[in-house]
Structure 1
C-alpha cells in the first residue's frame, strides 16, 4: 500500500504538510535517490532524505499523537531558528528523539497566550486549514474610543486588504475611558487579523492574548513560557474536530496526576532555567559593521 509522501512525513513528525510541500517544491527531499515530486506516493520501504539527512518513516500504528499547550510570552518568535539569536517558541519545549513539535498556526511576536504544538503534522495541517472554521478567542486591550456602532461594524464585517473579515462575537471585559478590554472570537487565522480588524476602526491594540483554541482554554495558572501536555480526551477532541481517527495511547497517565500547584511549580523552575540559558546564548549580529575607510 502506498501513501502520499507529504502525508507520511507529516505523520512521522517531520513538519506540517504545508511545510513539507514547500520542501518538496524546493527540491530538498529525495525518495530512493531521486528528487521528490508533489503528490508522489511511497511505500513503507522507501528511502527518504530531507536536506541530505535520512528521514525516519513511521507506520501509522507506531505514532502516538501528542499535543502540548504552550503559554507564549510576548517577544518570542514563532520560528524554529532566528538568525539574530532571538528567543523562539521552540526554545522551551521538551526535547524528543525521533520526532519534533509542529506548531498549530502562529502568534506574532507581540502576541501572547495559547499556542498548540503536536507531533502529528497531519493534525496540525487540518487544524490550521481555513475550511475547518475552528474558533479562536482572544483577550484584547484597546486604546481609543470604542462605541456601539464600531462593535456592530466589526461583527457585520469590514473590508481588509486581503478580503472581508469579521468577529463572530465581541464581549466587553472591563476597563474604562481610552483603555478597555474585550474578548473577541473568530474562526480563521489570517496574519494579524485581530489587530487589523481593530485598526480598520482607527483604534490601537495595546495587548493581545489568545485564551482559547476550539474548546481548549489556556489553563489557568500556567506560567508564561510554560507548557502542559493535553490529556487523551483533549487530544481526541481535536482529532474528532478535523475528522481524524481517535488516538488510543497517551503520555499522560491519569493514575499518576500531580496536583496543579506542584506541576506548575516544576514548570516555573524549568522556565526560569530555560530563560537563563536563552539569555546566555550568544547572538549573531543582524548587521555587519562597515569596513573602515582610509
Structure 2
C-alpha cells in the first residue's frame, strides 16, 4: 500500500512530516531520479534521495513503536538544537539505529516533569491533537490570593488571546502564606496554557510540573534528567487511547520493566555525569 512521501521520509528519521513537506516543496527530493512533488505517494521500493543523498527506508511492518518517559528538568529546551547552546531534552536520549525520537508536545524552559518521546510520528500527532482530548495533569505552585470564586472561573472558562480555555479539574494540595499548590487537569496543549490561565486571575505561577499524561503518571523514582522506556502494556495503552493498532513486540526486556532502586541510582549517576559534561562545555564556550 502506498503512503505519502513526507510520511515515509519522517519514518526514516529525516525530520518531522511538516519539515519534510517543506523539503519536498523546495524540490530537494527525488524519487527514482525524478523531482518529487508534495502529494506524491510511494510504495517504499523506490530509490529516494534528498539533496542527492540516498535515503535508507524503513519497512513499516518491521518498525516497533517505542515510547520513552523523560523527567524534564527546568532549564532544558524542547528543541533538537539551541542556537544559544543551552541543553535540550534530546541530549541524553538513547541513539536509534533508524528513525528518530519525536517529542509528544512541549514543555517550556521553566516547566519540569513528564515528557513523552516516541518513534511513531502518527502516535505523537494523535496524542497531541486536541480532538483526542488526552488529559494532562500538572502540579502548580502559585503565588497570590486564591479564592473559590477564582477557581470557579478557571473551571468554567476564561477568555485568553487565542480563545476560551479552562481547567477540567482544579484540586487544592496545600500551602503556606501566599504560596499554594494545586493539581490541574486539561486536555489540550496550547502554548503556556496553564500559566496563562492562572495569570489571567492575577496570580503568578512559581513552579509547574507535569505529573501525568493520559492515565500514566510520572514514575516517582525517575530522577530529573532521567528517562525510562515504557513496556509493551503501556505502549499499547497509548496506542489504544488514540485508536491505533496494538503492538505485539517490545524493545524492553521483561526484567527491565521495574523501576527498582538500583536502576534509579544508575540513572542518577548517568544524569550527574551528563550535567558535569554540560557544565564543562558551558565554561569552555565562555572562555
Q: TM-score range by the shorter chain?
A: over 0.9
Q: Deviations over 1:47-75 (max 9, x none)?
A: 23345543322122110110000000000
- Alignment: residue pair count: 286
- 3-state SS of the aligned residue for 1:281? helix
Equivalent position of 1:136 in the other structure: 136
Q: CA deviation at 1:11?
A: 3.6
Equivalent position of 1:21 in the other structure: 21
Correspondence 1:247 to 2:254: no
Q: Quick one: distance in 2 between partners of 1:278 and 1:249?
A: 35
Q: Quick one: distance in 2 between partners of 1:262 and 1:53?
A: 44
Q: Quick one: distance in 2 between partners of 1:25 and 1:285?
A: 37
Q: Quick one: distance in 1 between partners of 2:99 and 2:214?
A: 25
Structure number with the bigger relative contact order (C-alpha 8 A, sep ≥ 6) is 1
Q: Deviations over 1:213-250 (max 9, x none)?
A: 00111001210000000010000011111111111110
Q: CA deviation at 1:271?
A: 0.8
Q: Quick one: distance in 1 between partners of 2:277 and 2:113?
A: 22
Q: Quick one: distance in 2 between partners of 1:206 and 1:77?
A: 18
Q: Quick one: distance in 2 between partners of 1:90 and 1:25?
A: 27
In the superposition, the TM-score normalised over structure 1's length comes to 0.90
Unmatched runs of 5 consecutive residues or more in structure 1: 287-294
In the superposition, the TM-score normalised over structure 2's length comes to 0.92
- 3-state SS of the aligned residue for 2:222? coil
Equivalent position of 1:157 in the other structure: 157
1:125-204 matches, cutoff 5 A:
125-204=125-204
Q: Quick one: distance in 1 between partners of 2:221 and 2:131?
A: 32
Q: Quick one: distance in 2 between partners of 1:147 and 1:256?
A: 46
Q: CA deviation at 1:15?
A: 4.1
Greater CA deviation, 230-239 or 32-41?
Answer: 32-41
How has the CA–CA distance of structure 1 residues 257 and 70 changed in structure 2, closer, same or farther, with 3 Å as cutoff? closer
Equivalent position of 2:31 in the other structure: 31
Q: CA deviation at 1:99?
A: 2.1
Q: Deviations over 1:118-171 (max 9, x none)?
A: 111111111111211100000000011111001000110011101110000000
Q: Quick one: distance in 2 between partners of 1:98 and 1:248?
A: 19
Contact kept in structure 2, 1:84 and 1:285, CA below 8 Å: no
Contact kept in structure 2, 1:86 and 1:283, CA below 8 Å: no
Q: Quick one: distance in 1 between partners of 2:59 and 2:182?
A: 45
Unmatched runs of 5 consecutive residues or more in structure 2: none
Contact kept in structure 1, 2:231 and 2:257, CA below 8 Å: no
Equivalent position of 1:291 in the other structure: none
Contact kept in structure 2, 1:145 and 1:203, CA below 8 Å: yes
Equivalent position of 2:44 in the other structure: 44
How has the CA–CA distance of structure 1 residues 151 and 100 changed in structure 2, closer, same or farther, with 3 Å as cutoff? same
Aligned CA-pair RMSD: 2.1
Q: Deviations over 1:76-106 (max 9, x none)?
A: 0000011121100001111122221110000
Q: Deviations over 1:17-66 (max 9, x none)?
A: 34433444455544334444333211121223345543322122110110
Equivalent position of 2:261 in the other structure: 261
Q: Deviations over 1:171-201 (max 9, x none)?
A: 0011032100000000000000000111111
Q: Quick one: distance in 1 between partners of 2:151 and 2:118?
A: 35
Equivalent position of 2:208 in the other structure: 208
Q: Quick one: distance in 2 between partners of 1:183 and 1:51?
A: 49
Contact kept in structure 1, 2:10 and 2:99, CA below 8 Å: no
